[in-house]
């Protein structure tokens, strides 16, 4: 229910309560005033008639009394005057018997017999008549009896009904006019400003650009709210611009971290690849010299040439893999065989693992669904996690890379994913260092060439995939990193048709 409607109904209820109470009090007061005035008039009329009738009875002019009563009846038919003359125990009236109320007639007879003054209303519940009985003074008249004046209350009742009708009309007119005025003013001063404020909020919530400032044309509470809303919109717009700027700087920093980490990884790989490439080069050099000395032996020349081809192909493959990893590629989420990508990266690291007699195992099912990932990002994740495992694992240890189909919860919804686990049997990570593992430039290998960028880059790449990463470690027992990557890629991307 709208505020204006609530206010109108509240005002309507208040008006009806106040005017209703006023109407009841006014009608009751009017009834009391009319009754008082009617009683006063009846007493004055009765006292005047009593004097006249007593004088006529004293002079034994009964005909004059009858004539007086007939004249009074013609002047005011609503007034009925009765004269009761008592003779011994017999009471009689000089007028006809009352046709309208036998109980009232009996009451007046009783008052005449008793010789008492009496004012009564008939009937008691809803009076229609007022009657006043006045006894004759025995000193003024020889006759004994009383004078009774009976008046109808119809005129009084009619006046009260007219008063009640006027009050009801006044109440209805006031309530109707007040309600209409409240509705009209409410629409102008309440509904209109609130509607404009609501429209501005919806535009601000649903659009990229801030709404136009609300007009401030009055000095009231709603105008103050609109003014505060304008200030809030201005401040939020500035905050959004600052947030966009900071977000862009953060993206640039993340890209710079990734590139820096890639260069560091390439440098670390170069040392191992130099030895890897050096061995076949020495073989090529020796076989080339032997080939030069065996020009007269074709079979030996052919055997040495095959060795040269095989070793040069090996060097080409090693250099090609290094170039593919070092080549800068924009992030591109495509469906690929993640196991194949991980296997290619592990091939680059097997020389270092073999040199230190570390067993590097890769476990995965033969059939895995393709995942929508950034291949370059997956390479960096494996290089960093396995590189850290190699640095933490002593000679003769074991590093296990496990890839399985799994599920993960994102936005309170369970989605299919790939679970990647990199576990080692190394020295482990101190408990106080675990909360800071993914902070940029935090490293526990500062004296051994660590830069603190590797895990920060891994965290950034996993976040770009809408994935999760968690670390577990026990001192002298090894570490375990678990990565979940959604099969269908980040939620912001749509499935290609």
Please report, for residues 24, 194, 337, the alpha-carbon distance to residue 12 in angstroms, rounded to integers and kept in the order given.
18, 23, 75
Q: Is residue 291 part of a domain?
A: no
Report the pLDDT value the prediction gives residue 209, as an integer from 0 to 100. 65
Is residue 145 scored above 90 in pLDDT?
no
CATH number for the domain spanning 134: value is 3.30.450.20
In this predicted model, what pLDDT tens digit does every residue of 19-72 receive, in sequence order? 788 888 888 888 888 888 888 988 888 888 888 877 777 777 777 777 777 777
Residue 473 in any domain: the answer is: yes
Show Cβ contacts of residue 407 under 8 Å, excluding neighbours closer than 6 positions: 414, 415, 416, 417
Domain boundary among 115, 136, 160: 160
pLDDT at 490: 87
Q: How many domains does the chain have?
A: 2
Domain boundary residue among 127, 160, 193?
A: 160
Distance between CA atoms of residues 146 and 50, nearest Å: 8
Mean pLDDT of 173-201: 78
- Digit-coded pLDDT (tens) for 348-371: 788 788 888 999 999 999 899 999
The pLDDT, as a whole number, for residue 88 is 43
**pLDDT, tens digit, for every residue of 80-134?**
887 877 654 344 454 454 555 677 777 777 777 777 788 888 887 778 888 888 8
- Is the Cα torsion angle 58, 61, 66, 71 positive or negative in sign? negative
Which residues fall within 8 angstroms of residue 199, CB to CB, at 6 or more apart? none
Cβ contact 154:127 at 8 Å: no
Check residue 266 and give its pLDDT.
60
Q: Is residue 27 part of a domain?
A: yes
Q: Is 496 a residue whose pLDDT tops 50?
A: no
- Whether residue 308 is predicted with pLDDT greater than 50 in this model: the reply is yes
Is residue 217 assigned to a domain?
Answer: no
Residue 379: give its domain's CATH number: 3.30.565.10
Is residue 380 assigned to a domain? yes
Domain of 128? 3-160
Could you tell me if 2 and 191 are in contact, meaning their C-beta atoms sit under 8 angstroms apart?
yes
Instruction: Classify residue 354: in a domain, yes or no.
Output: yes
Average pLDDT over residues 297-326: 64
Residue 232 covered by a domain: no
pLDDT at position 142, please? Answer: 54
Half-sphere exposure of residue 75: CA atoms within 13 angstroms, side-chain side: 8
479 falls within a domain: yes
Question: Per DSSP, which regions of 359-497 are E strands?
Answer: 359-363, 371-374, 398-410, 413-424, 468-474, 478-486
pLDDT given at position 328 = 46
Average pLDDT over residues 444-470: 77
Higher pLDDT, residue 482 or 329: 482
Instruction: List pLDDT tens digits, range 234-265.
Output: 777 788 788 878 877 777 776 666 666 666 66
365 and 418 in contact (C-beta within 8 Å)?
no
pLDDT for position 470? 92
Boundary of a domain, candidates 113, 144, 160: 160
What does the chain come to in residues? 497
Rounded to whole angstroms, what are the CA distances from 134 to 97, 186, 376, 488?
Answer: 18, 65, 124, 112
């Amino acid at each position: 229910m709208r505020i204006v409607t609530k206010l109108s109904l509240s005002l309507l209820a208040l008006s009806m309560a106040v005017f209703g109470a006023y109407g009841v009090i006014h009608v009751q007061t009017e009834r009391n005033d009319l009754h008082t005035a009617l009683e006063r008039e009846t007493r004055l009329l009765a006292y005047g008639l009593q004097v006249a009738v007593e004088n006529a009875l004293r002079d034994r002019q009964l005909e004059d009394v009858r004539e007086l009563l007939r004249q009074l009846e013609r002047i005011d038919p609503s007034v009925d005057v009765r004269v009761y003359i008592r003779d011994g125990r017999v009471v009689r009236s000089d007028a006809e018997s009352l046709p309208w109320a036998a109980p009232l007639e009996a009451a007046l007879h009783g008052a005449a017999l008793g010789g008492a003054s009496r004012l009564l209303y008939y009937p008691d519940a809803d009076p229609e008549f007022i009657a006043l009985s006045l006894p004759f003074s025995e000193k003024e008249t020889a006759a004994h009896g009383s004078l009774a004046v009976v008046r109808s209350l119809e005129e009084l009742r009619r006046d009260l009904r007219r008063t009640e009708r006027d009050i009801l009309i006044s109440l209805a007119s006031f309530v109707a006019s007040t309600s209409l005025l409240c509705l009209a003013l409410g629409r102008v001063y309440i509904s209109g400003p609130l509607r404009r404020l609501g429209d501005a909020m919806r535009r601000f919530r649903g659009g990229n650009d801030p709404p136009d400032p609300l007009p401030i044309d009055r000095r009231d509470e709603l105008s103050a709210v609109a003014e505060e809303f304008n200030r809030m919109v201005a401040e939020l717009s500035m905050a959004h611009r600052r947030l966009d700027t900071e977000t862009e700087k953060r993206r640039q920093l993340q890209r710079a971290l990734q590139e820096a980490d890639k260069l560091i990884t390439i440098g670390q790989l170069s040392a191992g690849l130099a030895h890897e490439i050096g061995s076949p080069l020495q073989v090529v050099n020796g076989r080339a010299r032997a080939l030069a000395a065996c020009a007269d032996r074709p079979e030996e020349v052919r055997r040495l040439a095959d060795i040269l081809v095989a070793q040069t192909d090996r060097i080409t493959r090693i250099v090609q893999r290094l170039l593919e990893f070092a080549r800068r590629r924009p992030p591109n989420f495509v469906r690929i065989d993640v196991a194949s990508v991980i296997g290619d990266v592990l091939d680059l690291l097997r020389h270092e693992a073999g040199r230190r007699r570390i067993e590097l195992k890769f476990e995965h099912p033969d059939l895995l669904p393709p995942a929508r990932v950034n291949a370059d990002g997956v390479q960096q994740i494996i290089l960093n996690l396995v590189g850290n495992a190699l640095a933490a694992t002593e000679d003769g240890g074991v590093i296990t890379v496990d890839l399985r189909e799994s599920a993960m919860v994102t936005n309170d919804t369970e989605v299919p994913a790939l679970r990647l686990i990199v576990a080692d049997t190394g020295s482990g990570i101190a408990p106080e260092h675990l909360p800071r593992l993914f902070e940029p430039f935090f490293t526990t290998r500062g004296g051994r060439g660590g830069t603190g960028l590797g895990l920060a880059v891994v965290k950034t790449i996993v976040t770009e995939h809408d994935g999760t990463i968690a670390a577990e470690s026990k001192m002298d027992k090894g570490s375990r990193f678990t990565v979940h990557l959604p099969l269908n890629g980040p939620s912001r991307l749509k499935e290609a048709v």
